[in-house]
């Protein structure tokens, strides 16, 4: 069957904003999806920081088993994001797939409370990450369709701000429940079901999606390729950058090397998420004003400076200063990168495009951390951090040279 041509006026496009005006707020769908992410991340972060302790302490698992569980879980999520994004481009509505992903993760995650072995924790983590893989790309496409292009960066930044705020709230709630109330780890894991259930409730009741026009039907081979050359160029730059963007666990290790007490590491971690949350909405809005490329490049160059700073840092106070600046990197790039993905493709292909974006980041993250660790072991921490800084510089140059500027598409039918 020949491909059906793309619709000229998707029904899920929001009403155009009058020229020269910006909406007073981002709309019900964006705010509701942000609330869903805040609650979900609060639930997840009530468990995630405690899971290695639970595995090695209560269940007697080895450190390699902890790494295996997390690696398998994240790889599963990364592979599913492309498939779910492609699938959502072929469904009349994206929301059911988003609901299914959040529901699966929210149901599975608290079940770690009844685990009696590492294998059961692995099964729970895989189910949790399958849910994340199902929801991420269609959710991002749903959010992109909910706002005009001129505030798309702000919308994605606002969403990331809520997500990071949840990452602050979750560990603090767990700390209060464990340290002040005196609950056990398993009880805290069960209580993580509360914000998870609220997230699904908000998603079902508050997030609206208008039925879209029939989407493009194409071959599997054609529709799973990056949707445009510009998107492919952007993903190549993201791939290079991510290869130098290792896990933040190495920042914690470097912090302890430089004299930050172990007792203050959770405060350092929370401070990082506070800066991330506070800077995400302004950073996304900045990309609406200055353009996606300049904002992303500024963030990547800031990252290079921070990593170079960690290479040459010599005191504990250097760590605190660098972590504060490091949080700004997330604010400048996370919302802008997702907004650029949406800018570079047609609305009917956004699910697939976001799937490629998440897959690129997810698959590059594992070798990035492995290579960083090998360099650290053989050449020392400064050499590893300088390698990350160099890759960020290369990625910035690649983005500048290969991705055209001014590609913020207007939705079909907009004036």
Q: Are residues 374 and 257 in the same domain?
A: yes
Q: Are residues 258 and 392 in the same domain?
A: yes
d(CA 298, CA 117): 46
Contacts of 143 (CB under 8 A, 6+ apart): 29, 30, 33, 155, 156, 159
Say which CATH number the domain at 79 has: 1.20.1250.20
pLDDT, tens only, 73-87: 777 787 888 899 999
CA atoms within 13 A on the CB side of 410: 8
Checking if the pLDDT of 214 tops 60, the result is no
pLDDT, tens only, 322-377: 999 999 999 999 999 999 999 999 888 999 999 999 999 888 877 887 788 889 88
Q: Are residues 320 and 258 in the same domain?
A: yes
Residue with tokens 């904002």: 295
Q: Are residues 33 and 91 in the same domain?
A: yes
Q: Are residues 328 and 189 in the same domain?
A: no
The answer as to whether 35 is a domain residue is yes
Contacts of 274 (CB under 8 A, 6+ apart): 164, 168, 327
Residue with tokens 């998420």: 273
Q: Are residues 149 and 280 in the same domain?
A: no
CB 11 within 8 A of CB 213: yes
pLDDT, tens only, 145-174: 999 989 999 999 999 999 999 989 998 898
Q: Are residues 251 and 120 in the same domain?
A: no
Helix (H) or strand (E) segment spanning residue 166: helix 152-175
The answer as to whether 380 is a domain residue is yes
Confidence (pLDDT) at 390: 98
Checking if the pLDDT of 69 tops 60, the result is yes
pTM for this predicted structure: 0.81
d(CA 182, CA 191): 13
Q: Are residues 200 and 304 in the same domain?
A: no
């Amino acid at each position: 069957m020949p491909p059906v041509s793309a619709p000229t006026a998707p029904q899920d496009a929001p009403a155009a904003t009058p020229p020269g005006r910006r909406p007073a707020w981002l709309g019900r769908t964006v705010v509701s999806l942000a609330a869903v992410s805040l609650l979900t991340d609060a639930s997840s972060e009530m468990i995630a920081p405690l899971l290695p302790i639970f595995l090695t302490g209560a269940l007697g698992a080895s450190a390699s088993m902890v790494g295996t569980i997390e690696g398998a879980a994240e790889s599963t999520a990364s592979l599913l994001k492309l498939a779910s994004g492609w699938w959502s481009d072929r469904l009349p509505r994206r929301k059911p797939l988003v609901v299914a992903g959040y529901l699966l993760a929210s149901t599975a995650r608290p079940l770690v409370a009844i685990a009696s072995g590492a294998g059961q924790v692995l099964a729970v983590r895989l189910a949790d990450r399958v849910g994340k893989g199902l929801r991420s790309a269609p959710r991002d496409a749903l959010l992109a369709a909910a706002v005009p292009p001129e505030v798309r960066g702000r919308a994605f930044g606002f969403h990331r701000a809520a997500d990071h705020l949840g990452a602050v709230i979750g560990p603090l709630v767990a700390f209060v429940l464990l340290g002040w109330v005196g609950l056990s780890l398993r009880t805290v894991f069960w209580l993580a079901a509360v914000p998870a259930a609220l997230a699904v409730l908000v998603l079902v009741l508050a997030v609206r999606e208008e039925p879209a026009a029939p989407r493009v039907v194409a071959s599997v081979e054609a529709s799973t390729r990056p949707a445009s050359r510009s998107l492919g160029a952007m993903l190549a730059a993201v791939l290079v950058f991510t290869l130098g963007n290792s896990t933040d666990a190495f920042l914690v290790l470097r912090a302890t090397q430089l004299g930050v007490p172990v007792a203050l590491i959770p405060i350092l971690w929370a401070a990082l998420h506070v800066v991330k949350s506070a800077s995400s909405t302004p950073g996304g809005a900045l990309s609406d004003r200055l353009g996606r490329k300049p904002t992303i490049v500024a963030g990547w160059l800031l990252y290079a400076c921070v990593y170079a700073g960690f290479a040459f840092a010599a005191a504990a106070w250097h760590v605190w200063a660098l972590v504060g600046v490091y949080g700004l990197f997330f604010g400048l790039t996370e919302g802008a990168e997702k907004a650029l993905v949406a800018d570079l493709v047609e609305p009917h292909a956004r699910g697939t495009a976001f799937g490629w974006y998440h897959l690129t980041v997810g698959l590059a993250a594992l070798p990035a951390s492995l290579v960083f660790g090998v360099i650290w072991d053989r050449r020392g921490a400064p050499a590893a951090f300088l390698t990350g800084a160099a890759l960020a510089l290369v990625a910035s140059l690649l983005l500048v040279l290969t991705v055209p500027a001014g590609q913020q598409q207007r939705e079909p039918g907009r004036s």
